[in-house]
Chain A
Amino acid sequence: MELYKLTIHEAHEKLVSKEISAREFTESVFSRIDKVEDKVRSYLTLTKEIAFGQAEKVDRKIASGEKIGPLAGIPAAIKDVMCVEGVRTTCGSKILENYVPVYTSTAAKNLLNEGIIMTGKTNMDEFAMGSSTENSRFFPTRNPWDLERVPGGSSGGSATAVAAGEAIFSLGSDTGGSIRQPAALCGIVGMKPTYGLVSRYGLVAFASSLDQIGPFTKDVRDCAITLNYLIGHDPLDSTSVKIDKPDYTKALSDDLKGVKIGVPRELMVEGIDPKVREAVENALEVFGKSGAIVAETSLPNLDYALSAYYIIAPAEASSNLARFDGVRYGYRVPGTEDLMDMYMLTRAEGFGDEVKRRIMLGTYALSAGYYEAYYGQAQKVRTLIIRDFNRAFEEFDVLVSPTSPTTAFKIGEKIDDPLQMYLSDICTIPVNLAGLPAISVPCGMVDELPVGLHIIGKTLGEEMLLKVAYSFEQNFGWNEKPAL
């Protein structure tokens, strides 16, 4: 078997038993990258030298009989929105094209300390704004299942890296679905943890009250393993939550006796491709076999979630992105003599259209005369959405829906129609507004493209969420791979 096909838990056993070395494992992944990267284009930067240095360290540890953790020696990719000291971090933007961070994000550091092998930094929609990775200022990434289609976004490169075998797992960030939607479109597992569970220190901010880092993996067990090392209180992030760290792998069980699964009817109707809906309905039958109770429920204000999100997220973005002014870091337009001209032209050239749209939307929604009608009202709608979820969770342990209303769409199909693109995140956005954890797991194929099942948990309910996802995965038994 080719080593790049291994999961984290399979590889760990082979590393510990010395059946394979971290070096061989890394070589396998990089030769896979050599073979398929021209087709999918997952990476903005490859860090091959760093990777082999890290592999050598792990191999020395193993040779000297030292115990290694489950992530040691595992090749992993990091979305180019998380800072790693000394490694170019672009956020998919021209304004940060040559930015080299002088510190490392906590999430990346937690994994690097565990001995992961960093393969590189992955492509993304500029500043994580988009659902297709077409908004990268460098190049689009292509879906490994069909190279004419998008991988989803904004963490498209992190999703394709795992789906195409160019990394064993990867990190993404999710503000409105940017981990779960590309995971669904690429046929892998992607999770957004509860807001505050993973430190955002060193994550370039898009919408601070919604952003959360999470993993892309090949299966649910790998997701639990990665989560174990990603989380933890961080004094460098004022929104970081303090909890006793559980071992999430202990939650993995395929017995769902008595577990109550709610299906919000608002997420199974309008706007959902009938074939996707059918695939999800078939998938739900699997839960019955593992002893769970599946019933319909309602989130009545869900219709307003997308509208509220497209006021709140741009409002926060317009404020966060004010820091890119050509003074302290990033691109500066050459040859201006006036400070205001320098600001205006630097930002005009440095940002792409989608980022400009969101900055302007946010600025407008926060400006005098419109603040209450837009931003104030959106924050109240956010309360209503949270109340809807709270009510549903009085009765149910988890909620399920499709992750994305469609399978992967064609490159170019929605790029000129921002609102159509925004609708790709209709099922995932409400979860960010409520700060909840959610996961996407593959649940079948429609027209030779993967479909994702979206499972939503209670605040800090990651253990139940992973248990339900694991049980589904075990009983559904899906094992398709892209023919790349």
Chain B
Amino acid sequence: MAISEKDVKHVGWLARLALNDAEIRKFTQQLGVILEHAGKIAGLDTENVPPTSHAIPLKNVLREDKLGVCLTPEAALLNAPEKENQAFVVPKIV
């Protein structure tokens, strides 16, 4: 399953990363080497092995449905690159 330049371009799009042609070439080569190594696991027989997502058993943790301390609008917007009237400003969408 070698990764192609087309794949890298597509993955860059999915991951919202703008890539120039030189980067596409470089990452295709580097990701190819890493994926070849990672591909080692493909040959392992795991037919009856369950997957592990966490090393310790976890269940959903829910807090009580009570109002707690939360950030003020000013604090929430403190690091916003652009803000106006207690809202985040983004480039026009429609």
Interface of A is mostly: helix
Chain A's interface size range is 35 or more
- Across the interface, name the chain A residue whose C-beta is closest to B13: A344
The reply to whether A373 and B42 contact each other, CB–CB distance below 8 Å, is yes
- Contact of A364 with B3 at beta-carbon distance under 8 Å, contacts A329-B80, A342-B90 already known: yes
Please give, as numbers and ranges, the residues of chain A lying within 8 Å of B67 by CB-CB distance. none
Q: Does A76 contact B (CB under 8 A)?
A: no
A364 to B33, CA, bound (A): 14
Give 1 or 0 for each of B50-93: 1 = CB within 8 Å of chain A CB: 11111110101101000000010001101111100000101111
- Contact of A433 with B44 at beta-carbon distance under 8 Å, contacts A328-B80, A359-B17 already known: no
A377 to B3, CA, bound (A): 18
Stretch at the interface among A235-243, A257-265, A403-411: A235-243
Please give, as numbers and ranges, the residues of chain B lying within 8 Å of A384 by CB-CB distance. 44, 46, 49
- Contact of A310 with B37 at beta-carbon distance under 8 Å, contacts A238-B61, A325-B16 already known: yes
Q: Does A422 contact B (CB under 8 A)?
A: yes
- Contact of A383 with B15 at beta-carbon distance under 8 Å, contacts A307-B38, A364-B3 already known: no
The reply to whether A344 and B16 contact each other, CB–CB distance below 8 Å, is yes
- Across the interface, name the chain A residue whose C-beta is closest to B79: A329
A359 to B7, CA, bound (A): 14
Give 1 or 0 for each of A181-203: 1 = CB within 8 Å of chain B CB: 00000000000001110000000
Give 1 or 0 for each of B15-28: 1 = CB within 8 Å of chain A CB: 11111000000010
- Contact of A360 with B92 at beta-carbon distance under 8 Å, contacts A304-B44, A329-B80 already known: no
Shortest C-beta distance, A215 to chain B (Å), equals: 21
Q: Does A297 contact B (CB under 8 A)?
A: no
Please give, as numbers and ranges, the residues of chain A lying within 8 Å of B63 by CB-CB distance. 235
The reply to whether A418 and B16 contact each other, CB–CB distance below 8 Å, is no
- Across the interface, name the chain B residue whose C-beta is closest to A326: B81
- Contact of A373 with B46 at beta-carbon distance under 8 Å, contacts A239-B54, A364-B31 already known: no
Checking A194, A326, A374, A380 against B49 with a beta-carbon cut-off of 8 angstroms, the contacting residue is A380
| 9 pairs of A and B residues whose beta carbons are closest in the complex | A435-B55, A379-B51, A329-B79, A332-B81, A380-B46, A344-B18, A348-B18, A238-B61, A382-B52
A and B contact pairs by CB, cutoff 8 A, 14 listed: A303-B40, A304-B44, A310-B37, A310-B38, A328-B80, A329-B80, A341-B91, A357-B34, A360-B31, A363-B11, A365-B38, A379-B51, A382-B55, A386-B52
